[in-house]
Amino acid sequence: MILLSAVIGIGAAMLLLTAGYLFGANRGYQAREQLRGQNLEQAEEIGLLRQRLSLPDEGDENLRTTIKQVLSPLIQRERLSFELSHLKAATGRRSDLTALLDQIADKGNFSAVLLSDEEGWPLASSSNTRELDRLCATASLLFLLAERIARDSAPAPLSLMVHDESNTVTLCRIFRVGDQRLSLTAVSAGAQLTPTALDPALVKVDAVLSSCDT
DSSP string, 140-186: HHHHHHHHHHT-TTPPPPSEEEEE-TTSEEEEEEEEEETTEEEEEEE
Cα 127 to Cα 125: distance, rounded to the nearest angstrom: 6
pLDDT tens-place values along the chain, 214 residues long: 555 455 455 555 555 555 554 445 456 556 666 766 666 777 777 777 666 666 555 666 776 677 666 666 677 778 888 888 888 866 656 668 899 999 999 999 999 999 999 888 999 999 999 999 999 999 999 999 999 998 888 898 999 999 999 899 999 999 998 888 999 999 998 777 899 999 999 999 988 888 766 5
Cα gap 98→119, rounded to integer Å: 20
Q: Element (H or E) spanning 115, and its range?
A: strand 112-117
Per-residue model confidence (pLDDT) at position 82:
87
Question: What pLDDT was estimated at residue 86?
Answer: 85
The pLDDT of residue 81 is 82
What's this model's pTM, rounded to 2 decimal places? 0.66
